[in-house]
Amino acid sequence: MVKHGPRPLVICGPSGSGKSTLLKRLFAEYPETFGFSVSHTTRKPRPGEQDGVHYNYVTKEAMEEAIKRGEFLETAVFSGNIYGTSKHAVRQVQAQGKVCVLDIEMQGVEQIRNSDLNPILVFINPPSIEELERRLRGRATETDESLKSRLETAKHEIQYGNKPGNFHCVVHNETLKQAYEELRDFIETELKREKQEGVTVSLKRVPLPEDF
C-alpha cells in the first residue's frame, strides 16, 4: 500500500458552530501537526497574492477539464469564479507529515467520504438553533438576511451531522473549554494510533496562554 502520511481531518458544522475558533486553538497548541491545503481558483490574483501560496490560479478551461478528470474533492462557485480543493493539494500537505485540515460543507463531506483519502470526519454541533443565532449575532458578521439563510441551512446540517454513521466524532460545542477538550482528545487518540502504525506526524504540544 502507498503511504500517504496522516489522514486528513474534515471539520464540518453549521456557520457559527465554532469551527474556526476550535481550529485556531488546535493549531496553536500543536504548531507542527496541522496544515491547510492550497485551493484552486479561476479568479485573478489580487495584489500581493502569490500563486501556489494563497491559491493555485488557473484558467476556467483548465479547471473545468481537471474537474472532469475527477481531480477535485469539492468545488464551489462564488461570484462567477470557480474555487476547489484538489486531491493533489491535500496529498502535498500529507507528504510533509502534516494532518491536512479541511473545513467543508455537507456536499463536500459526501464527496470526500467517497474518495480514497480516508479522512477523519468531525462534526461541530451547536447546543441549539437559538444559541447558534445568539453566537452569530454576537459575531456581528451577518445581515438579517444572511443570518436567516444560515440558520435555515443549519437545521439540515444539524440533522445530517447527528445521523449515526455520518461522522466519526460529534463535538458538542456547549462551552469552548469542554468542546475543545473533546475535539483534542479525539484527535490525539487517533493520531497516536496512526503513529503506532508507522505514520510520521508530530504531536508536540505547547502550552496555551490562560486567556486563549
Among all residues, which ones are annotated catalytic? 46, 139, 150
Contact 123, 158 (CB under 8 A): no
- Measured from the CB atom, the residue of 28 and 176 that comes closer to ligand ATP is 176
* 42 bridge partner residues: none
How far is it, in rounded angstroms, from Cα 119 to Cα 58?
26
Q: Give me the residues that bind ligand ATP (CB under 6 A), please.
A: 13, 15-21, 135, 138-139, 173, 175-176, 179
How far is it, in rounded angstroms, from Cα 78 to Cα 65?
19
Nearest to 156 by CA among 30, 15, 5: 15
Q: How far is the CB of 120 from ligand ATP (least distance, A)?
A: 18
- Measured from the CB atom, the residue of 116 and 145 that comes closer to ligand ATP is 145
The interaxial angle of helices 106-113 and 144-162, nearest 10 deg, is: 30
Report the Cα–Cα distance between both ends of the chain, in Å, rounded. 41
Q: How far is the CB of 124 from ligand ATP (least distance, A)?
A: 6
Residue position matching grid coordinates 443565532? 133
- Measured from the CB atom, the residue of 19 and 98 that comes closer to ligand ATP is 19
The interaxial angle of helices 176-196 and 19-29, nearest 10 deg, is: 50
Q: How far is the CB of 202 from ligand ATP (least distance, A)?
A: 25
- Measured from the CB atom, the residue of 103 and 194 that comes closer to ligand ATP is 103
